[in-house]
Structure 1
């Protein structure tokens, strides 16, 4: 499997992947609240691809996973006492991380996430912040296993799910052996 930045010719395939994932998740106890008409919508996928923010995981023929990586977060992120204080352009956020249901429980999500973490590190990020809806225990386990730490649990508003509880997670690169300078560590 290989990580790539998505290109315009892949937009419909990425959106099709999200539709399959939404249908697959609907058959589980997890209530993500995703609705392909609102999020992740075709317009959202197109915007992420056009902004060069959409990453895909593929076997050269099929798109197996997708997510957006950027520096855009809800305003509630500013209320969290994150473990790292550094400019926002050094802290990525992962959005709508997904893997095709045929690849669930095969380690593909872990492999994809590792590639995304490596991608962000190569881009010079000091950390990654993200949120996980509190009903998504499998995603929470995936992120914690990869080295993310739960920082807080808050209520947050997203149009597609309205106000819900979310785990707020961070991944610090200096924890993984890549020491960052004192300027990016938590301030007393």
Structure 2
């Protein structure tokens, strides 16, 4: 049932926000010269997939977890995208393709070995990663891998249609801060 909802919502979302995606892409082109960001992430069953987002950091920023990136790497437009969470919109394509869900554990990077091990030990890779979830609305980021894996496991164990919709609504209303940038 959740996969069906993911497909319906992501397809509808992509159609409805297509004009906004075009505008953000054009503005992003003037901001960084490369508005779309592609990055290999750890997906369901630890299978690799390419995450798509709007670029919020300068092109030469190292591929590290956001909480390890320098504050100075974020562009002015990137701040706006992050604050409004509009940088996540291209991930609707990942959801439509079946690589992600709207709700699930945020996909980590392969170089986040501590997080990968903690999630593997807790069975987190049995589900699709998501755009939002319990950890995100609880303001738990990837800087605390054990707590994040524990929270992801709790979300998976208690997932229901009610919680699926709750995480989406709470995220859209602005709850959660995502990964914190190193100052």
Q: TM-score w.r.t. structure 1 length?
A: 0.30
- Pick the structure with more strand per residue: 1
Greater share of residues in helix: 2
Q: What is the TM-score when the length of structure 2 is the normalising length? A: 0.30
